[in-house]
Amino acid sequence: MQQHDFSKVSLVEVDELFIGQRLDNFLIRHLKGVPKSRIYNLLRKGEIRVNKGRAKPNQRLQSGDILRIAPIRVSADPSPGKLSNQLSHLLMTNILFEDDALIIFNKPSGLAVHGGSGVSMGAIEAFRALRPEERFLELVHRLDRDTSGCLLLAKNRAALISMQKAIQLNRVNKRYQALVAGHWPKGKGTVNAPLRKNQLSSGERFVRVDADGKPSVTHFSVVKRYPSATLLDVELETGRTHQIRVHCQFSGHSIAGDEKYGDSTFNHQVKSDGCSRLFLHAIGLRFKHPISNNVIDVQAPLPEELEKLLRKLERQE
């Protein structure tokens, strides 16, 4: 094991690039090799201070803030931070759009958007390793690990703030495709059901429809019907955790391959047909560019494994 040594008190001045960033997110990136749990513990104990005062994880940084970080010594395996040739190739060959402000990446199923919870390197850490010359790279939004498709990254703070505000104001059209069990009811175009995060005694987290949850709205339209399934176009009006998956389950038509919210019989059926992943794909993003104001309309075609399943379902008709 290699010793990652922050053995001396360090003073870090925040420059304009990180104005408005949460303190915890800044520290996670700055203190590479230090576990997130340790960073939060240091904040609770006051061993990381901002302008000589105690600070909370969600505090927003300002230009010129001085962070005082107490000595830290942790052991970490250096290998998780290394970008493999395979992952590097995957990143470079799946960029759908890039300019000076944004990257749109066609994320494969199985790749987490960020590290943590047993994942050493997610998409954002991988891009930072691939592009060390980029001083700033942040996720604009998130996709579930098992969901594939369009993932938006910002290359500067102005673009990040602008795009996140656009998402909050529902000015970013996020379109998905999902294969669900059974026949989706005719005329069922919108599910408006509040969602709430929950945690089991085992520590497993899940989301369910709850009157006390956050407002959540999803729009559905039928693309094609099969004997035992329906292919849906899905548009998000809100972007809650697991929103599409839970709204499909709530409607009685769970998504194929969904191990958490799905139908085990249907999952077994699609697995026997050769698909062992979640059939949920972020197929398109459409929005006004935060700098040029041009309309950006990017499509990520369905992965071959999902297309192959659809072809098999067609032959069963």
The residues that bridge with 149 in the sheet, in sequence order, are 107, 282
Which residues of the chain register pLDDT less than 50? 1-4, 76-80
Q: What's the pTM? A: 0.79
Residue pointed to by tokens 């390197």: 121
Position 139 scores a pLDDT of: 93
Q: Classify domain 171-315 at the CATH class level.
A: alpha beta
pLDDT per residue as tens digits for the range 201-232:
666 788 999 999 999 999 999 999 999 999 99
Q: How far apart are CA 159 and CA 164, in angstroms?
A: 8
Burial class (CB in 10 A: 0-12, 13-18, 19+), 106: buried
* Residues contacting residue 178 through CB under 8 Å, at least 6 positions apart: 231, 232, 234, 244, 248, 255, 256, 279, 280, 281
Catalytic annotation, pick one of 144, 146, 258, 263: 144
- CATH code 3.30.2350.10 for 83-161: yes
Position 78 scores a pLDDT of: 42
Instruction: Pinpoint the alpha helices (H) of the chain.
Output: 23-30, 36-44, 85-93, 123-130, 157-168, 243-250, 264-272, 304-315
Contact 93, 102 (CB under 8 A): no
How far is C-alpha 244 from the geometric centre of its chain's CA atoms?
14
Contact 281, 259 (CB under 8 A): no
Q: Could you tell me which of 4, 205, 172 has the C-alpha nearest to residue 102?
A: 172
* Residues contacting residue 177 through CB under 8 Å, at least 6 positions apart: 223, 231, 232, 233, 234, 280, 281, 283, 302
**Would you call 263 a catalytic residue per the annotation?**
no
Position 316 scores a pLDDT of: 81
Contact 148, 106 (CB under 8 A): yes
Distances (CA, A) of 233 to 128, 179, 218, 238, 239: 32, 9, 10, 16, 16
| Domain spans in the chain, listed from the N-terminal domain onward | 2-73, 83-161, 171-315
Q: Tell me which of 2.30.30.230, 3.10.290.10, 3.90.180.10, 3.90.650.10 is the CATH number of domain 2-73.
A: 3.10.290.10
Residue pointed to by tokens 């040029």: 292
Position 15 scores a pLDDT of: 80
pLDDT per residue as tens digits for the range 274-305:
999 999 999 999 999 999 999 999 999 999 99
Same fold, 83-161 and 171-315: yes
